[in-house]
Structures are given as C-alpha cells and as structure tokens.
Structure 1
Amino acid sequence: MSGDLKEALTERLSETFEGRWTLRRVERLTGGASRETWAITAASADGDTRELILRRDPPGRENTRRIAMEAAAFDEAARVDVPVPTVVDRSADEPHPGLGSYLITTRVPGEALPQKLLRDENLAEVRAALPYELGRILARIHRMDVAAVPNLPDHDPLEFLFDEYTATGQPVPMLEATFRWLSEHRPEETGKTLVHGDFRNGNLLVDAEGVRGVLDWELAHVGDPMEDLGWLCTRTWRFGSPHPVGGFGSREDLFRGYADESGREPDPDVVRWWEVYGSLRWAVICRMQEAAASSGGDNRLELLAIGRRVAECEHDLLDLLDVPAGTTDLDATGAVTDLFGSPSAGELLGAVKEFVLEIGSGSDAKTRYRSRVAAHVLDIVAREAAVPGAVRDRLRTRLAGMGYRSEADLALGVRAGRDRLEDPEVAVLIRDLAETRLRVANPKY
C-alpha cells in the first residue's frame, strides 16, 4: 500500500472511530480481479484494535454508485439474518481524494479459499451440511427489500448478457449456440427479487460452525431468484469437485433448504436453465475482464489470463447441451519442429517460467500470486506454440468446407440460424474448435 493511501486511510479511520488510530498491519489479499482487497489491523491510542477489510475500485475505474448499492445490500442482508460483515465506512457520492471509491467492513472469521473449503478435513462435517444451509440463506436473500438498496440494476438478463458479449470480442460459435438455446428454452419467470449475482464458493466465509459471511455484493441486481441457485451450481464454482452445489453436495439438499426457508420448491428444470445461463455468463465475464486489461493496472496480467478461461466455459456448455464428442487429435503429425533451431520455444518458455517462480518465491503474498499467474500464462503460450500445424490446417479446411473463412464467420452463421447444433457436422466441428482451445488454455480441466 502506498504511503499516500495509508495516510488517507489512517485519517479516515480516525474520523470514523474518533481519536487517533494507526495501521498496525496492512496486507493485500490475493484474488479478486475487479477490485483491490486489503486486510487491515487498526489500533487506537488507547490500545484497542479492529480487524477490517478495505475494498476499493482500481484508480480510474471508480464507481461510487456501486459502492453505495453494496453497502446498502450489506445492511439490508443483516436485517433478514443473512450472515454478512458490518459496514464501517464507505465513500460518499464522489470518490475520496485519497481512497477513491471504497468500502470498509469488519473482518469476519472463516475460510474463503475454495480449495481449502473443499479439502480441509477439519471442515468435512460442515461441508456436508452446506448445500442445505446455502439454500436457506438464498431464500433469506430473496426476502430482502429491493427498495432498501439503491442503484440496483434491473434488466432483461439475456438481452443484457448479449450486449456485453457483442461488445467484448469476436463471436464464438458455442457461445452463439448457447444464446440461441437459452432463447428457445427460456422458462417463465419465477419471481422478481433482489439477486445476489455472485453467490458461490469463493464468496463465502465458512468455519466449523457454518457460513459466517456472504461477501461481494457488487453484482447484486433485480431478477429471477432462481438465477442465484443456477449460478451456485455452475461447474466453474465446483473447483474440480464432482458435487454440483459449489463442490459441496447435492442439488436436492440445496432445494430442500430453499423450500424449508421460503415455502417454495425450486423447479430443477428452471435451475438447470439458469445453470446454462451461468456458464455462458461466466464466459462473457471472462471476456469483459480481458477487455478491462487494456486500461492497464497491476492486475493486467491476471485479467488477460482470465480471457483464456472462456475455453473452460465452452467445454461446460458443450456438455450441458449434450453436444457429441469431437475428433481433433492434438498429437497429429505435421508440425515443423526445427525451423527456428534449438532450443525450442517450449524450452525457452520453460526456463523463463522457472525464473519467474524463483523470483516470486521470496516475495510478498501478492507477488507470489502474480508469479504463479505469470507461470500459468507461459504454460499457455508454450502449449499453443506446440500445436501441430496439421491440426490448424485441418480445422481451417473443415471451416472452408462449410463455406466459412474463419471461426468467427461460423459463429455468425449460428447467430443467423444457418447452422445449428442439431446438425452433427456443425456440432462436432464446434466441439473440436472449443476443445482445441481448452487443451491449450487448461488441459487439466
């Protein structure tokens, strides 16, 4: 944290709590590509201490209206017994001269790291009970008074998502096909409530007693309450676990908790529609994060890396919509391996990766995290460089055989309705294109 930021924060805490407060500990937390998050221990002149969390928009991307909405959402959530941190302070209608647009809350105990939540044996008992508890918490969220939370967006979800999609890059065949499927299979709206918008593993603080805090309300909006249930079940938020509800357990337990708290039984087919929507939405968010990298900032590398995660979403959507298996063989012959001499690109990138990780190993937590992101990006580049030329040529030939010069042209053909997933040739080609991308972006997925 810069000296100017520390000074502004110290002054603000002294005004908020009265008396003179100092910062005893300041730690930048990893994760969260859209905002900075800091853990703070503040101490008073009398020896009192407070454990706090500061979340602030990156300089140049301040949004005080969203901060006001999120702060009000915390307050209203607490009223209906949703476990949330307490809001200590927030920016006013204009960004604070030293802090920008920010939100300060109490620090709630518990673990938020998904990998620990899913694998820590000390949490095994509470983990099994989480789907039911999360269902009850979601039902309470959907009882929140919309009028108590200002600046809540209220839009048609498909239209809004399509607008964001078209503004953030080239058309992608599988994403186009999913938009069409969602439009053709759209269920009746089940209600209109406050929707958390990002209720998932990773935004929950959990300890041996259960859920201690629901975090990150910045995407809250007015919509169908089943959106939150579908988002929680989206494969991305299972982090490799086979269990559909955040990696914790079954949909049946989630639905039972929701019904016991609300008196309404969720329709599994409706939730599945929102699960498909959720995978598509995450793909669009990945594209948005990639686009945000153009504005610079110290998280530019992470934002660019997130852009390659669209391939994971394509894979999930292919499976959700039962698209048949593809045929691409990345080991096909035809790559020219010695054109540029020795060492190979893969060997060079591997050496750079080792150097980056070595630098990061002796640094602070944020730098270690960024070095791991950099190493991941180097792996992507190395795998892409190793894709045989024969694979690229074969995919181009198949596109040309269907009358398309590029994959983007095929995507526009899907949008126009000329090509559909029901056509086996189209379906297999779309899967082959997507799986080729995935084997480069994240072959372990």
Structure 2
Amino acid sequence: MTSEPQIVAAALARAAGRHFGGEATIDNLGQESGGASRQTWSFDARVNGERHGLILRRDPPLRGRPGGERSSSLDRATEFRVIAAAWKAGVRAPEVLFEMQPEDGLGEAYVMRRVGGTAIARKLLRDPPYAAARGRITGQLGEILARIHATDLATLPPLVARQAADQVASLRQSLDQLGTPQPVFELALSWLDRRKPAPIDRPLLVHGDYRTGNYLVDETGVTAILDWEGAHLGDPVEDLGWLCVKSWRFGAVDKPAGGFGSRAELWAAYERAGGATVDPARAHWWEVLGTARWGIICHNQAWRHLSGAVKSMELASIGRRAVETEVDLLQLMKEGA
C-alpha cells in the first residue's frame, strides 16, 4: 500500500519537474509539526544538478463543523497570490514559486522557497543563539508590518474587507454556535460593540495572524513572515493589536510586542517605516478584540476534539487556554474603562 509521503513525493517530483524544466528527484521530505488547519511539508528538489530547498503548503482533508476562523481563511490559490504581491513589495515573506495542479492529486497546494530560521517561541525567548536577535525583533516587526500595509492593493487578488463592526459580528456568530453560556466573552463583545472605532475610509492589506509563532527568526532577526491564510482588507491597527495579545508573549508578559518589546517601541518602528500614526485607544480596542478572538478560537478548537470530529490532544489543550483569555479580557476592559 502506497503511503502518504510516497504519494506526496511523487506529486512533487512531477510538479517540480514542470516548474524547473527537468527531471526532479525529491529528498528529505518530511511533514512539519504544528499547523492545525494546514499541512506544511519540507523537502529538497534536485533538478538539472541544482538543489532547491522548498516548502509545500497544502490543505488537509476537512472533517466536522468548520469554525469561524477556518471558514474565513483564504483558499490556497488566493493565499499564493497575496504572498507573491507582498514579496514583490519588499515584505520579508517566502518567495512562492508554483501551484500544484489538479492532476497532481494533492488538492489545493503551492510550493515556496524554504527560508532559514525558527518560529518556536521558547527558543527565541530563551536560547543563547538568539540573544542579539531579541533586541531587534520588535523594531523589525514594526518595519515589516508597515511594508505589508503599504502593499499596492492593485497587485492583490480580490479580498474580503472586514471593518471593526464586521469583526465583532463574526465573533458574535462564532460564540453563538458554541451553544453554551460564556459570560466573560458576552461581556467583552458588548464592550467592543459599544466602543468600536469608526470604519476607515481606505482599508489596507492586513496580514490577519501577525504574531510570535508565525514568523521565522535566525541569529540576525526576523527572516520571513508566515501563515498568510487570514489576509484581508481592513484596519491596519488590527495587526498591531493582535501581535500584542498576551497569549503571544509566551510568558514574557512585561513585553507586549510579541514578548520582545513595548507597544511604544513597536509603534515607533512602524511609524518610522511609513505606517500611519498609531492611536493608543484604537490599538487597545484591537488588542481587546484580538484577545476575545483567540479565546473563542480556543473554544472552537476544543469543540472539534470533544465532538469527535478530530481527535487531537493539541486541540484539547488549546481549548483549556480559553480561561486564560477570560482573565486577560477582564484586565484589558478595566484598563480601557
């Protein structure tokens, strides 16, 4: 019986051969850990005597009720074009190379160049090789984010626009689907709805999941921004708020900017790189929304496990983190009162 790695390797050999123009041999194929909603495979393709370090991004089979977060994610073809536009605009993103074709038998998928670095937060926050990088990451994240938001909209594929009110309504729908009382999240959504900022006149490209764990870092700092499936048009401050959600500090709670620096440092770097002046009140609102969003995602991930749709200890453990966000929400709402 043919195993999944053998099927993937054969498909990649055909696709790489088409793209690079020669017979391809696939080596060092392995599926990366993590990624509850997407498969990531690392491999080397040898074509015409040249070795290419590559990454396959692929949709896994879908089972069970899709949560609100997954249902709003980009398909692979659109994600491919968003990353291509960002890369051409000078964003530190992987270079996407080619899409898989239906005859390859891997579903919606694409291949990009492999970039060096790690996304593992505990290594970045603690290990000696990244000591110098830790002092650069906050500034680099601000600069990169300004460049993402400056991406020419004419180069992008059609994307949904989501203003603040749309985000609150989406979370409300997702919370209602749980079917169980969630008083803290109900309070947070009411708080957000009463204080939501005015819509922006010209929505910009928003990454949608800009946080520690979704970018690669080597000893020099950030090498690439990953996980673009949440990209949309919207308020650029959304990305700034999401990065500062306490859950993405991985224990470094005194450094709101992803565990590496202050909000002021992040905003200053963003503004120096051409981003608009950041309104602290608006940023706080988006941080509250981001915290509520993550907590509701935790509940939905737990539902996937508890319902039997996907048996996963990872999803079960993520579900337990919802209570952390409840404490964070109460503190944030008090600060913003």
TM-score relative to the length of structure 1: 0.67
2:86 paired residue number:
77
Seen in structure 2, the aligned counterparts of structure 1 residues 47 and 28 have a Cα distance that, compared at 3 Å, is same
Does residue 33 in structure 1 map to residue 36 in structure 2?
Answer: yes
**Which is further off, 70-79 or 147-156?**
147-156
Spell out, residue by residue over 1:343-397, the C-alpha distance to the aligned partner (whole angstroms, 9 max, x if none): xxxxxxxxxxxxxxxxxxxxxxxxxxxxxxxxxxxxxxxxxxxxxxxxxxxxxxx
How far apart are the structure 2 equivalents of 1:255 and 1:215? Answer: 21
2:16 paired residue number:
13
1:308 paired residue number:
320
Q: 1:24 Cα deviation (Å)?
A: 1.2
**Which aligned pairs between 1:104-143 and structure 2 lie closer than 5 A?**
104-143=111-150
Seen in structure 2, the aligned counterparts of structure 1 residues 96 and 118 have a Cα distance that, compared at 3 Å, is farther
Seen in structure 2, the aligned counterparts of structure 1 residues 106 and 230 have a Cα distance that, compared at 3 Å, is same
Q: 1:98 aligns with which of 84, 98, 105?
A: 105
How far apart are the structure 2 equivalents of 1:47 and 1:296? Answer: 45
Spell out, residue by residue over 1:311-351, the C-alpha distance to the aligned partner (whole angstroms, 9 max, x if none): 1211211221239xxxxxxxxxxxxxxxxxxxxxxxxxxxx
How far apart are the structure 2 equivalents of 1:157 and 1:120? Answer: 37
2:182 paired residue number:
172
How far apart are the structure 1 equivalents of 2:205 and 2:192? Answer: 22
User: Would you say the 8 A contact 1:70–1:218 is kept in 2?
Assistant: yes
User: Would you say the 8 A contact 1:66–1:151 is kept in 2?
Assistant: no
The amino acid across from 1:139 in the alignment is: A
User: Would you say the 8 A contact 1:280–1:313 is kept in 2?
Assistant: yes
User: Would you say the 8 A contact 1:59–1:100 is kept in 2?
Assistant: no
TM-score relative to the length of structure 2: 0.88
The amino acid across from 2:121 in the alignment is: P
User: Would you say the 8 A contact 2:74–2:231 is kept in 1?
Assistant: no
Seen in structure 2, the aligned counterparts of structure 1 residues 65 and 233 have a Cα distance that, compared at 3 Å, is closer
Does residue 4 in structure 1 map to residue 16 in structure 2?
Answer: no
Spell out, residue by residue over 1:237-272, the C-alpha distance to the aligned partner (whole angstroms, 9 max, x if none): 000012100000111111111111125220111111
Q: 1:202 Cα deviation (Å)?
A: 0.6
Q: 1:221 aligns with which of 213, 219, 232?
A: 232
2:295 paired residue number:
283
Seen in structure 2, the aligned counterparts of structure 1 residues 147 and 308 have a Cα distance that, compared at 3 Å, is farther
SS at match of 1:216: coil
Q: 1:192 aligns with which of 203, 228, 232?
A: 203
Spell out, residue by residue over 1:390-436, the C-alpha distance to the aligned partner (whole angstroms, 9 max, x if none): xxxxxxxxxxxxxxxxxxxxxxxxxxxxxxxx9xxxxxxxxxxxxxx
Q: 1:65 Cα deviation (Å)?
A: 5.9
SS at match of 2:208: coil
The amino acid across from 1:251 in the alignment is: R
Q: 1:218 Cα deviation (Å)?
A: 0.2
2:242 paired residue number:
231
Q: 2:261 aligns with which of 249, 271, 279?
A: 249
User: Would you say the 8 A contact 2:138–2:265 is kept in 1?
Assistant: yes
- Give aligned-pair identity as a percent: 42
Does residue 321 in structure 1 map to residue 323 in structure 2?
Answer: no
Structure (1 or 2) with the greater strand fraction: 2
Seen in structure 2, the aligned counterparts of structure 1 residues 236 and 4 have a Cα distance that, compared at 3 Å, is same
Contiguous gaps of at least 5 residues in structure 1: 324-421, 423-445
1:49 paired residue number:
51
2:66 paired residue number:
none
Seen in structure 2, the aligned counterparts of structure 1 residues 13 and 314 have a Cα distance that, compared at 3 Å, is same
Which protein is bigger by CA-based radius of gyration? 1
Spell out, residue by residue over 1:75-116, the C-alpha distance to the aligned partner (whole angstroms, 9 max, x if none): 111122111111122245xx5552111121100011211111
How far apart are the structure 2 equivalents of 1:291 and 1:91? Answer: 32
How far apart are the structure 2 equivalents of 1:88 and 1:292? Answer: 33
How far apart are the structure 1 equivalents of 2:146 and 2:302? Answer: 33
SS at match of 2:161: coil
1:377 paired residue number:
none
**Which aligned pairs between 1:355-394 and structure 2 lie closer than 5 A?**
none
Does residue 24 in structure 1 map to residue 24 in structure 2?
Answer: no
How far apart are the structure 1 equivalents of 2:74 and 2:256? Answer: 34
Q: 1:209 Cα deviation (Å)?
A: 2.4
SS at match of 2:25: strand
The amino acid across from 1:288 in the alignment is: N
The amino acid across from 2:190 in the alignment is: R
Spell out, residue by residue over 1:137-159, the C-alpha distance to the aligned partner (whole angstroms, 9 max, x if none): 11111111234322422231111
**Which aligned pairs between 1:422-441 and structure 2 lie closer than 5 A?**
none
SS at match of 1:82: coil
Q: 1:27 Cα deviation (Å)?
A: 1.6
The amino acid across from 2:176 in the alignment is: T
